[in-house]
């Protein structure tokens, strides 16, 4: 799957982190709102000789009020306008600085951003432009917004990233703390061997006494060094005794009966318990193995497969979606096989493998693909998904938890620590550039 994998910090992540996510603005509920904005336009601020108009402030105010991601925002118009004006000032300063530093955005990047916005909102490009027009935004105006967002993102990556320093000591401390937290979530595991002396439900007291004495003699033999597997073969009434020599398998304590766990809680590996009585009979337990919680961080991996169709002059995005929707229905009804379809029509390097992408750790796929994949349970088939690479039909086949390598752990720690410092670094940087800019506030005309 050439170029489908990515690991770098993308403009989409920056946009999400700093409140500039390129999502389709919610539609204005009444056309009169747009009309009222257009009817009263004047300059409210000048940033390094560039104006910010009342129209811009009003439009952003409406979007802030309708944006469910903004928490605790008051509907008071003066507060909302103040927040909108502050945001516009900071954005204006950043765009100006990006241009002054020679940062550029080409047409291909804008097209990719536009496709990502459409994909995030499950729309085709034509549908996206139609929604924008209903919201009073032209296609040209929206693309200009995308260009500015990309300029600001690249500026932030250049200026803010350089402020962040992650030391090896910080990485070590983070990993130690994570392992401690993991150890509380992943208790140690034990493997017990068991000999069962079954007691029939209608057993007489004499039979119960005789069977109890038999179990006690087994305990004595085991503690004197007799081979436990041989004792299992000779004495145990458990149905699976011959298959595993009495071993019940390595598992967390909560997957054993509490009475078993209590009986062996103080025993070392090789220790033999006293006779344990349950409804099934008398049990003799041996601690075969103890394993502490993993000394390495664990990560969830997903195995998925997909069919990819790339829009072209011969196949529009809408046609690709319709084709994959029909194929999805055929697969769900049993009329088609996923692997066969992928081999036949998928336009991806995974096609010969039936679309199989192998085991993937978090961050291996582009965000829009990974987000959709993570919402699926094994065996589930998603609706067609639009990504920057085309239209996908995704099925998750399996999931597992695996240990990270040393390099993976340190890279994970570095990324988490960097993310935690980004917001603080960004806030300090914004304060710096705001202090260096000339901003003149204007009073509204009387």
Residue whose structure tokens are 């005309």: 445
* Between 94 and 79, the higher pLDDT residue: 94
pLDDT score for 24: 44
| Cα 51 from chain centroid (whole Å) | 41
Q: At what angle do helices 338-345 and 317-333 cross, to 10 degrees?
A: 150
pLDDT confidence of 31, banded at 50, 70, 90? very low
pLDDT tens-digit readout, 340-386: 999 999 999 999 999 999 999 888 888 889 988 998 999 999 999 88
Q: Which of 19-23, 129-133, 292-296 has the lowest mean pLDDT?
A: 19-23
Query: In the chain, what percentage of residues exceed pLDDT 70?
Result: 85
> What's the rounded mean pLDDT across residues 262-283?
93
* Residues 367 and 417 reside in one and the same domain: no
* Residues 134 and 39 reside in one and the same domain: yes
pLDDT score for 23: 41
Q: Is 379 part of any domain?
A: yes
Mean pLDDT of the chain: 83
pLDDT tens-digit readout, 151-194: 998 998 888 888 888 999 999 998 888 887 776 555 578 999 99
Q: Is 248 part of any domain?
A: yes
* Residues 177 and 193 reside in one and the same domain: no
Beta bridge partner(s), residue 441: 45
Q: Which of 159, 174, 204 is the last residue of a domain?
A: 159
Q: What is the rounded (10 degree) CA torsion for 218, 221, 222, 228?
A: -80
Residues with Cβ within 8 Å of 22's Cβ and at least 6 positions away in sequence, in order, are 12, 15, 113, 116, 117, 120, 146, 149
Candidates 291, 337, 51, 60; CA nearest to 192 is: 291
Q: Is 444 part of any domain?
A: no
Residue whose structure tokens are 């075969």: 288
* Residues 25 and 103 reside in one and the same domain: yes
pLDDT tens-digit readout, 204-246: 999 999 999 999 999 999 999 999 999 999 999 988 777 788 8
Q: Which of 261, 291, 321 is the last residue of a domain?
A: 291
* Residues 73 and 17 reside in one and the same domain: yes
Domain containing 81 equals 11-159
Q: Is 127 part of any domain?
A: yes
- Tallying the residues shown for the chain, one arrives at 446
* Residues 16 and 152 reside in one and the same domain: yes
* Residues 251 and 209 reside in one and the same domain: yes
* Residues 194 and 119 reside in one and the same domain: no
Q: Is 2 part of any domain?
A: no
* Residues 198 and 216 reside in one and the same domain: yes
Structural domains in the chain (count): 4
Q: Is 115 part of any domain?
A: yes
Strand arrangement, sheet containing 439-441: 50-53, 43-47, 439-441
């Amino acid at each position: 799957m050439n170029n489908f994998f990515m690991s770098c910090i993308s403009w989409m992540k920056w946009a999400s982190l700093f409140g500039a996510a390129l999502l389709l603005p919610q539609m204005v509920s009444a056309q009169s709102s747009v009309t009222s904005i257009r009817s009263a336009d004047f300059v409210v601020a000048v940033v390094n000789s560039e104006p910010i108009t009342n129209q811009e402030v009003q439009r952003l105010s409406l979007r802030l009020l309708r944006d469910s991601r903004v928490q605790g925002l008051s509907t008071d118009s003066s507060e909302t306008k103040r927040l909108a004006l502050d945001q516009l000032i900071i954005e204006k300063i950043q765009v100006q600085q990006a241009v002054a530093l020679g940062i550029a955005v080409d047409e291909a990047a804008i097209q990719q951003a536009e496709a990502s916005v459409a994909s995030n909102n499950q729309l085709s490009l034509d549908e996206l432009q139609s929604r924008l027009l209903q919201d009073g935004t032209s296609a040209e105006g929206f693309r200009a917004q995308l260009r500015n967002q990309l300029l600001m993102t690249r500026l932030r990556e250049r200026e803010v990233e350089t402020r962040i320093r992650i030391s090896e000591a910080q990485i070590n401390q983070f990993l130690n703390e994570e392992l401690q937290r993991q150890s509380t979530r992943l208790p140690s595991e034990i493997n017990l061997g068991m000999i069962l002396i079954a007691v029939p439900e209608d057993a007489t007291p004499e039979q119960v006494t005789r069977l109890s004495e038999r179990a006690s003699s087994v305990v004595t033999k085991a503690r004197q060094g007799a081979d436990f597997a041989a004792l299992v073969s000779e004495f145990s009434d458990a149905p699976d005794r011959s298959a595993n020599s009495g071993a019940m398998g390595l598992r967390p304590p909560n997957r054993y009966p509490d009475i078993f766990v209590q009986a062996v809680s103080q025993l070392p590996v090789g220790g033999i318990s006293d006779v344990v009585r349950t409804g099934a009979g008398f049990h003799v337990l041996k601690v075969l193995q103890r394993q502490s919680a993993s000394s390495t961080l664990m990560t969830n991996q997903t195995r998925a497969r997909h069919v990819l169709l790339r829009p072209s002059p011969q196949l529009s995005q809408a046609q690709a979606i319709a084709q994959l929707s029909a194929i999805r229905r055929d697969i769900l009804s049993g009329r088609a096989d996923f692997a066969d379809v992928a081999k036949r029509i998928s336009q991806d390097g995974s096609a010969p493998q039936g679309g199989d992408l192998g085991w993937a750790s978090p961050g291996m796929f582009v965000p829009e693909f990974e987000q959709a994949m993570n919402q699926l349970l094994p065996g589930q088939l998603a609706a067609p998904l639009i990504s920057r690479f085309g239209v996908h039909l995704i099925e998750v086949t399996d999931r597992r938890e695996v240990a990270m390598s040393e390099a993976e752990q340190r890279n994970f720690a570095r990324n988490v620590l960097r993310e935690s410092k980004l917001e603080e670094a960004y806030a300090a940087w914004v304060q710096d550039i705001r202090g260096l800019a000339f901003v003149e506030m204007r009073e509204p005309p009387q």
